[in-house]
């Protein structure tokens, strides 16, 4: 079953590279969206702990 995981990961990497090469603007938008989601989540966690401290 280890080889199945290796094939799936390889296919995901090939798809990501294909997407990056054929649609760089869309790939950049996806990365920006992911970073925005991470920062929004971190901000929400910060607000949560700030409200607990109040």
Tell me the whole-structure pTM to 2 decimals. Answer: 0.61
Q: What is the per-residue pLDDT for 20?
A: 87
Cα dihedral sign for 45, 49, 52, 54?
negative
Q: Is the pLDDT of residue 1 over 90?
A: no
Name residues whose C-beta falls within 8 Å of residue 37's C-beta, 6 or more positions apart in sequence: none
pLDDT, one tens digit per residue, over 6-49 is: 999 999 999 989 988 999 999 899 899 999 999 999 999 999 99
Using an 8 Å Cβ cutoff, are 20 and 27 in contact?
Answer: yes
- Domain locations along the chain: 24-54
Q: What is the per-residue pLDDT for 44?
A: 97
């Amino acid at each position: 079953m280890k080889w199945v995981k290796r094939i799936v990961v390889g296919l995901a990497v090939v798809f990501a590279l294909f997407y990056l090469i054929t649609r760089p603007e869309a790939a950049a938008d996806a990365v920006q969206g992911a970073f925005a989601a991470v920062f929004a989540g971190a901000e929400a966690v910060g607000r949560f702990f700030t409200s607990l401290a109040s």
